[in-house]
Amino acid sequence: MSGRAAVLAGLGGWLPPTRITNDDLARQLDTTDEWITTRTGIRQRFVVPPGLSTSDVAIEAGARALASAGTDSVGLLVLATSTPDHPCPATAPEVAGRLGLGEIPAFDVAAVCTGFVYALATASSMIRAGIADSALVIGADTFSTILDPGDRTTRAIFGDGAGAMVLRAGSLWERGALLGFDLASDGSQADLITVPGGGSEYRSKGLAAPGDEFFTMQGRSVFRNAVTRMSESSRRLAKQLDWPLESIDRLVAHQANIRILTAVGNELGLPEEKLVVNLDRVGNTVAASIPLALADAVHTGSIAPGHRLLLCGFGGGLTWGAAALEFPEVSVEPLPGSPAPAESTYTK
Amino acid sequence: MSAVQEKLTGLLVSQLGVPAAKIEPGITYKDLALDSLALIELTMLINRELGGALDDDVLQGETTIADTVELIESQGVRA
């Protein structure tokens, strides 16, 4: 195998301006700050104001990742999202166009909360294969647009946002190279995390019930699968790379629920300080979650150059996966719309 | 106290923060203030640490400690 690899060159994230605290939710729904905090670890989330959609948040994060990499051009754009602006066409070409990236290949990848890991694997593979020399990989979702306004559970969990990475062609032996991936899916459990309506199946079969346009999730089974799948995937990838689990400096896992993160840490025998946590301030931002958590941890200094990182995700599909790299020298702007990282309950 | 109940008590105390003094055979998970996610965490712990094979939805708020011990032992687990 050649030593050509995709190397992390830039990182950025963006949160929309409307902040919703647990107390704000408690004023609209039958819930309390304590109920949400103890069950999820989430204290606030950001949502798009009327008029903004996934392309808008994707562009903001993409522009920041390009600035972080010190470039204004890339050869490929892959957008991970499950809340595209339209069912057709994909949102990525519009994002590429509005970012002024020209007529580059651009497409969406849909793997819900695992979307960023899948998109990263796709872009990395295209760079290694020589199809592109650089790429912008964005994870962006606006789940606030598909939640049932009366559902206290999902509204407490999900927030909107976008995170992005710039990759460039380089060598497997340089710091920042994407060293390996582990990807998987299980379609027999597709109904655990779903928006039942709005797709071809429902239109073709004439199915339609009130509320079918909203996102639903079966909490218990999702919890168990999230813990076992992210642990499995991380363990498999570490083994493939010959990385003893204790040599991992930081685990950047999908930010779904603090109790899932803690349980994954326990499964892998990783102490709390190795778990990157920012969900207390942003909630579950779906495809944006991993790059946003990474950007936050770099900004606070929790992740430093040379750190061995495992990124792992789990989401609807079911899908899950992991990616590995040694963190390079990359500067990150603080996330707009978010308070200083030092205010995070879980910042280490 | 059976070996299974002893281990179950150990998991509740060390992993889920339940006060040891509150645990008795007839008490329900609801009375121990364990919510649905805590019950799935407990299910996973039982399956991993005691070699049980409990399904995700077996433990409910009304389930007692004695019920749980019986369920685990009915699967041939003697801890």
**Average pLDDT value for residue range B30-58:** 89
Is pLDDT above 50 for A17? yes
Q: Which domains does chain A carry? A: 4-171 (3.40.47.10), 178-329 (3.40.47.10)
B1-12 pLDDT, tens digit per residue, is 789 999 999 999
- What pLDDT shows up at residue A241? 98
For chain B, give every domain's residue range: 3-74
Cβ–Cβ < 8 Å for A14, A61: yes
Nearest residue to A38 (alpha-carbon basis) of A282, A259, A275, A345: A259
The C-alpha of A326 sits at a distance from chain B's nearest C-alpha, in angstroms, of 32
CA separation for the pair A203, A36 (Å, rounded):
36
A228: contact with B, CB 8 A cutoff: yes
What whole-number distance in Å separates Cα of residue A241 and Cα of residue A2?
Answer: 17
Pick from A207-211, A269-273, B29-33, B54-58: least confident: A207-211
- In CATH terms, the fold of domain B3-74 is 1.10.1200
Give the H or E element holding residue B65: helix B65-74
Mean pLDDT of A164-173: 97
Identify residue B44 by its one-letter amino acid code. Answer: M
Burial B35-53 (b: 16+ CB within 10 A, else e): ebbbbbbbbbbbbeebebe
Of B36, B43, B44, the CB nearest to A219: B36
Whether A339 has a pLDDT exceeding 60, the answer reads no
Residue A5 CA to residue A298 CA, distance in Å, equals: 22
State residue A1's pLDDT score.
Answer: 53
pLDDT given for residue A341 in this prediction: 43
pLDDT digits (tens, 9 = 90+) for A277-297: 999 999 999 999 999 999 999
Is some CB atom of chain A closer than 8 A to the CB atom of B1?
no
Beta carbons of A220 and B39 less than 8 Å apart: yes
Q: Count interface pairs A-B at CB distance under 8 A.
A: 26
Residues of A in Cβ contact (< 8 Å) with B63: none
Cβ distance B40 to A39 less than 8 Å, yes or no, reads no
Q: Given pLDDT bands bounded at 50, 70 and 90, which one contains residue B52? A: confident
pLDDT tens for A298-307 read 998 899 999 9
Mean pLDDT of A192-198: 93
Q: Between A220 and A172, whose confidence is greater?
A: A172
Contact: B37, A259; criterion CB under 8 Å: yes
pLDDT value at residue A346: 38
Place of tokens 């299980």: A186
State the smallest CA–CA distance between residue A269 and chain B in angstroms: 14
Query: In chain A, what residues touch B44 (CB-CB under 8 Å)?
Result: 224, 227-228, 263
Which tokens belong to A244? 């003893």
- For the segment A138-163, the average pLDDT, to the nearest whole number, is 96
Active site residue A284: yes
Average pLDDT over residues A184-199: 95
Per-residue confidence (pLDDT) for residue B79, from 0 to 100: 66
Locate all alpha helices (DSSP H) within chain A, ordered by sequence.
22-28, 33-40, 54-69, 92-98, 115-128, 152-157, 200-205, 219-240, 258-268, 279-282, 289-300
The shares of helix, strand and coil residues in chain B, as percent rounded to the nearest 5, are 50, 5, 45
How large is the average pLDDT for residues A242-261? 96
Catalytic residue among A22, A225, A257, A284: A284
**Is residue A183 within 8 Å of A119, Cβ to Cβ?**
no
Spell A52-86 as b/e; 16+ CB within 10 A means b.
bbbbbbbbbbbbbbbebbeeeebbbbbbbbbbbbe
Calculate Rg over the CA atoms of chain B: 11
> Which residues between 17 and 76 in chain B have a beta carbon less than 8 angstroms from any beta carbon of chain A?
35-37, 39-41, 43-44, 56-57
Query: A336 pLDDT band (50/70/90 cuts)?
Result: low
The pLDDT of residue A223 is above 50:
yes
How much is the CA Rg of chain A, to the nearest whole Å? 19
